[in-house]
Structure 1
Amino acid sequence: MTGIARDEWTPAALRSDGPRYLAIVEALQADIERGMLRPGSRLLPHRDLAEHLGLSIGTVSKAYAEAERQGLIIGKVGKGTFVRARASDAASPDVERSRNVPLDLNVPPPGPEIELLAAEFASLPNHANFAGLFDYLPHQGLLRHREAAAAWMGPRYRPDPDTIQICHGAQHAMSLAFSLVVRAGDTVLTESLTYSGMKALGAHLGVKLVGIQTDHEGLIPEALDEACRRSHASVLYTMPTLHSPTAATMSPERRAAIAEVARRRKLTVIEDNVYNFLAPDAPPPLKSLIPDQCFYVTSLSKCIAPGLRVGFVVAPPTYRDRMMLAIRATAWMATPAMVEIGCRMIESGRIWRLVEQRRSEAAARRAVTYELLGAYLPPLQSNEPAGFHLWLPLPLEWPAAHFVVAARQRGVDIAPPEAVSIDEASPNGVRICLGGPEAEAILRKGLTVLKEMLHNPSPSTLSFV
């Protein structure tokens, strides 16, 4: 490379801690927010930026893939990579908005949630103590709100409301729980494929994630036991119901076996149960088996809407006071008006109407997916709950990173494998999110593209920019 033109972006500085590719993404986002980069600005080719920064091409490619996943940039085959216009920006003649089929974000499809939320917001000023919702309230949350949270968690596990604490969504609850049980440099065990938010949290806390082998039910007890022996880890993060990204759900027997390993190895377990509302027949959570060793985390956001940041956590008895202190230190309290909206939906019964719609839509979309991709998917297990995501194993001819790029070039967005994989030994495949497309016809269009790619693999013909 002979030099960098003045109008070609390079980061002024990269933070020294954490993954380098994420540091590039953060610097890019910061310069976009400062107005230093406008929609349509062209970025350097992968190779040139890698040479300028003294990094590998693979690191820069991961950064560009993550930035594109976050909606910051867009790649045009044969033209380059450009800063993407935001949804709120006026249309820019310099960069086209992506019209790809969105199979990358794990959200439910549009339903009656806006209508239901509007009704609750409209009635909020009639609250007996409306002004009080904007005052300082208990860090743990109001008793009435915690009673509604207990009803939401039931019926197979319904904790005492006094043990529930309210947070700004499940991610906030997880962040606080981990801050109580790990320090930088510690090891945390989890599935070999895990929730992307867990990877982000691990990087933020400076902990090492160790992936555990799984099968169609999730964590394998013997593999967990061996990982404990080798790593001497004391903390496990797991999602036993509709695990993200694999959609696996543990049987009662598997949960009992995992709980037994946790008891014997004295593991502190952080159990993420945000998809429980989609699985009415799921067994009781691990929390019910090892209450003194388990943080139980759930939320309303995955059911109602991502912007309704209302989460609930039940900590082990020895951590409850410290959890309350952590809530106070990081937020003082969850926003009472938002919590009130969510809890009124529970009390009024409106949320159960939404739950039924979500379950029905999830089942319908899974049926469409198996109709088109069934030959490439694992067979469904009996009574397996339907969610809005599943794991698509890929043949050797299709390395996951190549498959994601090829799909994007053909008009389908899929999250890059780095978002959910712990290490290079993770299974070769991609998470397919079924809720992003607004209509079934759009979902069918995207799945048909993937079917054609699987039927005629040709990764060697990809064009990279």
Structure 2
Amino acid sequence: MAIWTPSLTGRRGPKYRQILDALTEEIEAGTLVPGMRLPPHRDLAYALGVSANTTSRAYAEGVARALLRGEVGRGTYVRELPGPAPHEGPMDLCRPPAEGPIDLSRNLPAPGDGAMYLAQTLAELSRGADLRGLLDYQTEAGQPGQVVALVRWLEGLGVPSLRDEVVITIGAQHGILATLMAVTQPGDLLATEALTYAPLRAMARRLGLRTRAVAMDGKGLSPQALDALCREASVRALYLTPTFQTPTGVTLEADRRAELVAIARRHDLLVIEDDVFGSLAPVRPPALATLAPERTIYLTSLSKCLGPGLRVGMAKAPKALAECIRGSVTLSCWMPPPLMAEVAACWIREGSATRMAEARQVGTARRRTLAREVLGGLDAGVGDYAPHVWLVAPEGWTADSLRAEAARRGVWITEGAAFATDPATCPEAVRICLGHEADEGRLRRGLACLRDILSGPRGGSSLIL
């Protein structure tokens, strides 16, 4: 009888991860059903032409991710997915799990008071004016009251804007895609930080863009490296996250921002400023959009401070570019959901958004203090409000082996290669996210597990906390 043998054709990365990816896909597709027994790891290794250590590692990772269960003497089985408890409704399924692996890999905020504010706002909307307009198609410019509210929000972030400069998007990620669609052509060269937001590279490939990494140092993107690249090649745009950079958490200082703006003007370079974490910083240097408003497209969203499920973002750009971005939004989704934009506008108008953002700052600072207590390490200028930690793998570890060992112990983190524009130059480091786990007790346990790993015989580590 033929054993289950996944197809690894076209897959990338280490072999064990290719096997794990295939396993995950087939479980999600229903090809591998709960309770199904998988072949012994040695038999699978022989069928695939890989080592037994490779298949054992894939199975171990599957167990750590709650996809599989191993029974001593019986084998490895596809795990039964737990169903909801009888008292749970559909919305309960959206909550982060209170059991199972501790997820420090997703850069999402912990639940705050958003649910309370949402209940109040929806009730007020239901008692208010005619809601039919929220179920109808909108103009490209969006509802004026919603745009005015977002302009007010941008002013609070230190980015003064005019109404015709602001475009509503479905979060910052959609804003990035709409911007690239609007201002680039296939074959254009996009410069990025050497370590950058992971989906950006996938977007660039889909749009036929070339990407080049700009070197970074301990203070962020290097102006000298950017200038050298612009002298060497024709660069269309620079994408960067100057505040709480992904994944390092570094915030560019004011003098370096001024240097980058001078280089952008010298080489007629568009700047795409992703400020998705800006609302978490009580004090920060001026946004690039205020230093070079004529060439900067400023992107942010309400995900990190109000709630990622709200899916309301905004792009602020010079008027002509804003019109192009509106066209890209129309092409990609026709319009952001009016109801979500109205909820966000209500929260901004009544001050709830500001209160929620301030609470998020306090919560993030508390979690960073917890990370320092558990992990130790030095403060390297990241500040007290960055929602993630960048950890350089200790001697004797690679980023991938550190991630795999953490996963084996039930803690998920992300290796640096996921963020590298050029994987060949990627440092051996991992990102640890502090916000997604709702229960700070689980966060503490996850951090303690990482501390135990780092305290092992393989050596010390370097933390940016």
SS of the residue corresponding to residue 233 of structure 1 reads coil
TM-score of the pair, normalised by structure 1:
0.83
Comparing 54-63 and 282-291, the one that deviates more: 54-63
1:147 aligns with 2:128: no
SS of the residue corresponding to residue 437 of structure 2 reads coil
Q: Cα gap change, 1:225/1:10 in structure 2, threshold over 3 Å: closer, same or farther?
A: same
How far off its partner does 1:284 sit?
A: 2.0
Aligned to 1:117: 118
Equivalents in 2 of 1:61, 1:152: separation in Å?
A: 51
Aligned to 1:436: 436
Q: 5+ residue gaps in structure 2?
A: 87-96, 460-465
- The AA in structure 1 aligned to 2:360 is R
1:447 aligns with 2:447: yes
How far off its partner does 1:233 sit?
A: 2.5
Equivalents in 2 of 1:174, 1:20: separation in Å?
A: 30
Equivalents in 1 of 2:180, 2:75: separation in Å?
A: 40
Comparing 181-190 and 366-375, the one that deviates more: 181-190
How far off its partner does 1:339 sit?
A: 0.6
Aligned to 1:36: 31
SS of the residue corresponding to residue 225 of structure 1 reads helix
Aligned to 1:10: 6
Equivalents in 1 of 2:392, 2:310: separation in Å?
A: 33
Aligned to 1:235: 237
SS of the residue corresponding to residue 112 of structure 2 reads coil
> Structure 1, residues 327-352: CA drift from partner, whole Å, max 9, x if none?
22121111101111111111111112
How far off its partner does 1:84 sit?
A: 6.1
Q: Cα gap change, 1:61/1:257 in structure 2, threshold over 3 Å: closer, same or farther?
A: farther
Aligned to 1:463: none
Q: Cα gap change, 1:400/1:41 in structure 2, threshold over 3 Å: closer, same or farther?
A: farther
Q: Cα gap change, 1:249/1:134 in structure 2, threshold over 3 Å: closer, same or farther?
A: same
Equivalents in 2 of 1:76, 1:184: separation in Å?
A: 48
Q: Cα gap change, 1:222/1:68 in structure 2, threshold over 3 Å: closer, same or farther?
A: farther
Contact kept, 8 Å, 1:85 with 1:97, in 2: the verdict is no
Aligned to 1:182: 184
Equivalents in 1 of 2:134, 2:455: separation in Å?
A: 56
- The AA in structure 2 aligned to 1:436 is H
Q: Cα gap change, 1:210/1:438 in structure 2, threshold over 3 Å: closer, same or farther?
A: same
Q: Cα gap change, 1:13/1:340 in structure 2, threshold over 3 Å: closer, same or farther?
A: farther
Equivalents in 1 of 2:427, 2:45: separation in Å?
A: 28
5 Å-filtered alignment, 1:9-408, equals: 10-11=6-7, 31-39=26-34, 41=36, 73=67, 99-155=100-156, 156-375=158-377, 378-381=378-381, 384-408=383-407
TM-score of the pair, normalised by structure 2:
0.83
Q: Cα gap change, 1:98/1:38 in structure 2, threshold over 3 Å: closer, same or farther?
A: farther
- The AA in structure 2 aligned to 1:38 is V
How far off its partner does 1:236 sit?
A: 1.1
Equivalents in 2 of 1:233, 1:84: separation in Å?
A: 49
Q: 5+ residue gaps in structure 1?
A: 460-465
Equivalents in 2 of 1:63, 1:262: separation in Å?
A: 46
How far off its partner does 1:20 sit?
A: 11
Q: Cα gap change, 1:261/1:405 in structure 2, threshold over 3 Å: closer, same or farther?
A: same
How far off its partner does 1:372 sit?
A: 2.3
Aligned to 1:414: 413
> Structure 1, residues 204-263: CA drift from partner, whole Å, max 9, x if none?
334343222223332110111122233432221100111111111111111111111111
How far off its partner does 1:416 sit?
A: 3.2
How far off its partner does 1:36 sit?
A: 2.7
Q: Cα gap change, 1:214/1:128 in structure 2, threshold over 3 Å: closer, same or farther?
A: same
Q: Cα gap change, 1:83/1:283 in structure 2, threshold over 3 Å: closer, same or farther?
A: farther
Equivalents in 2 of 1:67, 1:163: separation in Å?
A: 48
> Structure 1, residues 175-199: CA drift from partner, whole Å, max 9, x if none?
0111123344443211111112223
Equivalents in 1 of 2:190, 2:61: separation in Å?
A: 23
Equivalents in 1 of 2:448, 2:229: separation in Å?
A: 40
Equivalents in 1 of 2:28, 2:251: separation in Å?
A: 40
> Structure 1, residues 10-33: CA drift from partner, whole Å, max 9, x if none?
359869xx9999999987776555
Contact kept, 8 Å, 2:5 with 2:47, in 1: the verdict is no
How far off its partner does 1:154 sit?
A: 2.1
Aligned length: 445
Structure 1 vs Structure 2: percent identity of aligned residues?
A: 36
SS of the residue corresponding to residue 106 of structure 1 reads coil
Q: Cα gap change, 1:57/1:170 in structure 2, threshold over 3 Å: closer, same or farther?
A: farther
Comparing 145-154 and 44-53, the one that deviates more: 44-53
How far off its partner does 1:270 sit?
A: 1.2
Q: Cα gap change, 1:104/1:134 in structure 2, threshold over 3 Å: closer, same or farther?
A: same
> Structure 1, residues 144-201: CA drift from partner, whole Å, max 9, x if none?
1111111212232121122111111111111011112334444321111111222332
How far off its partner does 1:130 sit?
A: 0.9
Contact kept, 8 Å, 1:166 with 1:313, in 2: the verdict is yes
- The AA in structure 1 aligned to 2:436 is G
Contact kept, 8 Å, 1:73 with 1:81, in 2: the verdict is no
Aligned to 1:462: none
Q: Cα gap change, 1:439/1:33 in structure 2, threshold over 3 Å: closer, same or farther?
A: closer
RMSD over equivalenced CA pairs, Å: 3.8
How far off its partner does 1:73 sit?
A: 4.3
Equivalents in 2 of 1:117, 1:295: separation in Å?
A: 30
- The AA in structure 1 aligned to 2:232 is R
> Structure 1, residues 121-141: CA drift from partner, whole Å, max 9, x if none?
222223323111111111221
Equivalents in 1 of 2:42, 2:230: separation in Å?
A: 41
Q: Cα gap change, 1:97/1:123 in structure 2, threshold over 3 Å: closer, same or farther?
A: closer
